A = this chain, B = another copy of it.
Amino acid sequence: MGLKVYVDRMSQPSRAVLIFCKVNGIEFDEVKIDISKGQQRSPEYAEINPMKNVPAIVDGRFKLFESHAILVYLACAFPGVAEHWYPGDLSRRAKIDSVLHWHHSSLRSGAAPYVFNAKLAPLFGLRVNPHVAVQAKTLLIDSLAKIETIWLKGKGRFLLGSSQPSIADLSLVCEIMQLELLDEEDRNQILGPHKKVQQWIEDTRHATRPHFDEMHSVLFKVKEKLAKMSAEGGTAKTHAGNKNQMLSKM
């Protein structure tokens, strides 16, 4: 039994795991868990990941969830993975762990609720919590400023001053890519001041081509649909037929 990767490409940590496998030539079967259909809540999937989210992996008889733990495991378990993704050196590894743990309560806690409250909820006529939206945007902008001034402080093009990407670069950039769903003006306002962050996204994309673009293509398709919906009416009230289908892709 080979490696199975349970994902939905609309989920940013799912894309990070998929890109990592592709870039490193790890053979795997991609099993789509369609979150728009609630497949992550099925009894069958709960046997694989009782937390009922994506991504998860099954490697032989070994089951694992939480994308950062998966990336670390894959980097260590598959001998073909290049050293720079998760170096054997204890200090360098600890620094990457530090970024990965920081991510949860900062960038992720800002980006995901902001995209939902600023773009998706209004578009689909769902209840927006303005307090949450404001708090999330503040956290998101603060997190990007910290990436710019602290994690990207070094001479290298990647986090921690490295000249090649690690699993932390991949995870954080996939998170930021979710901002593509925002209105162009809003996204530019948020990312605009962070020149190093913008360059780093491009560098990470470039270092993981063509898989980066392939795995993000679904995000850009949804972005196009959202832009069309926005242009047509401002809310999705006139698109009842599309509502569940679209929301299920977020």
Contact = CB atoms under 8 A, between A and B. Distances in A.
Interface of A: 50-51, 62, 64-70, 72-73, 76-77, 90-91, 94-95, 97-98, 100-102, 104-105, 108-109, 129, 131-132, 146, 149-150
Copies in the complex: 2
A127 B72 CA distance: 41
Nearest to A91: B62
Contacts of A102: 51, 66
Contacts of A66: 97-98, 101-102
A145 B208 CA distance: 39
A69 B90 contact: no
A102 B65 CA distance: 9
A185 to B, nearest CB: 28
A104 B104 CA distance: 6
A69 B97 contact: yes
Nearest to A104: B104
Given A62-B91, A90-B73, A131-B131, A101 B98 contact: no
